[in-house]
Amino acid sequence: MNNKNKIIGNHWSKVSEKNVGVPRVLRWWQSPYIIKYINKIVCGREVAGFSQGLIELVKNKTKDFIPFEKGISVGGGNGEKEMNLIEQGIVQTFELYEFSEVRIAQGKALAKQRFLEGKIRFIHGDAFDLITKTEQYDFVHWNNSLHHMFDVDKAVEWSRKILKSGGLFYMDDFIGSSRFQWPDAQLEIVTRIRKVFEKSKYLVNPDDRNSFLSTTMVRPDEQKFIKIDPSEAADSEKIVEAIYKYFPNAEVKYTGGVVYHQVLNDMLNNFDEKNDKILLDLLMIIDELCAKLGQTHYGVALALKE
């Protein structure tokens, strides 16, 4: 494994160890409300569960192909998302490629706990180097890992090559600005919304209750960003273009994020999802409208290989 991949693996090992037992809700994926809202955009119903809206779409769109026999996942972490697909009868078995040894260890323990040891295999290595034979998988799974690829065109082309005819390309991922170098239009939207909450309880800093979060949103320093994790959003803004290039029949849906990923970052800790539901509903409507205007951070895609 090359040095860059080791850096990536070590970073995500530290993240996994740090997040064990963390109770606070700081990010959108920790919010049951936001997850249900995203799922409704994808499948039309407010179903619970991360990526469950896309799973429901798979059940509706590809029911004649389910279950897919052999799946592959790149950068799947502890494999919880893949295990969910197995348990729901979408895929029979998975091979999962991961750089983080901590996440692989966590995944093996989780597979044993869920009695799935014989159905999911973890490989510590680079899938692009190790998988070169074409047309050997029925399901290619990308869930918040495609945006970590340094060349998404190459990754999507590889996905098509290893898929059998009738196999499914499945993606739920960040498709926003590479390296989080947000466009001016998004920075303006986010800053204007944050200023509405200036010096209110919603902007109290979760790490220092005597201070407030900033109302002015800026782009991160790109070099510092790369140093922390060389793979983070490396080529993310080209994902949709690559999908349509190699899967012209793909169904792509934009699932937003300008508000729930950027505006509400850290602010979520100060919301009560029951008592603040009206306010959250209004914010999600703004987010959905932004997505319809092309201002989005996330998207899902399905495509059967013809």
Where in the chain are the domains? 3-304
Residue 161 in tokens = 């090559």
CB 105 within 8 A of CB 20: no
The DSSP output letter for 287 is H
Looking at residue 3, its pLDDT comes to 62
Strand partners, 205: 208
Looking at residue 10, its pLDDT comes to 61
pLDDT tens sequence for the chain (306 residues): 666 665 555 654 555 545 555 578 999 999 999 999 999 999 999 999 999 999 999 999 999 999 999 999 999 899 999 999 999 999 999 999 999 999 999 999 999 999 999 999 999 999 999 999 999 999 999 999 999 999 999 999 999 999 999 999 999 999 999 999 999 999 999 999 999 999 999 999 999 999 999 999 999 999 999 999 999 999 999 999 999 999 999 999 999 999 999 999 999 999 999 999 999 999 999 999 999 999 999 999 999 998
Looking at residue 76, its pLDDT comes to 87
CB 231 within 8 A of CB 10: no
Pick the closest to residue 82 from 159, 22, 127, 144 (CA basis).
144
Looking at residue 12, its pLDDT comes to 42
Q: Can the peptide bond before residue 220 be classed as cis, meaning omega within 30 degrees of 0?
A: no
Q: Which helix (H) or strand (E) holds 242?
A: helix 239-246
Give the C-alpha separation, 148 to 236, whole Å: 7
Residue 156 CA neighbour count, 13 Å, CB half: 25
Q: The CATH number of 3-304 is which of 3.40.50.920, 3.40.50.2300, 3.40.50.150, 3.30.1370.60?
A: 3.40.50.150
Give the C-alpha separation, 39 to 47, whole Å: 6
Residue 188 in tokens = 């303006």
